Copies of this chain bind each other. A is one copy, B any other.
Amino acid sequence: MSNHTYSISEIVGTSSEGIDAAVRNGIAEAAKTLRNLDWFEVKEVRGHLENGEVADWQVTIKLGFRLER
């Protein structure tokens, strides 16, 4: 079995709905340009507040994808 190498990209997905949706939005956007996405890891959850309410959730995630040879 060959030794694969993976690359890790860090992105911030956002959503007005919640944490899960922010992760899904970020991954969907990244999937448009990155192939072979394999795993993700949540690093930070922040957000913007407006009028005393969450205006948008900002979730920093690391994405691992296999480098093709």
A29, closest chain B residue (CB): B5
The CA-CA distance from A8 to B56 in the complex, in Å, is 18
Majority secondary structure of chain A interface residues (helix, strand, loop or mixed): strand
Q: Size band of the A side of the interface?
A: 35 or more
Tell me the residues in window 1-29 of chain A with beta carbons closer than 8 Å to chain B beta carbons.
1, 3-16, 18-20, 22-29
A46, closest chain B residue (CB): B41
A42, closest chain B residue (CB): B45
13 contacts between A and B (CB under 8 A): A1-B16, A1-B56, A3-B14, A5-B26, A7-B10, A10-B10, A27-B49, A27-B53, A28-B53, A39-B48, A40-B46, A42-B44, A42-B45
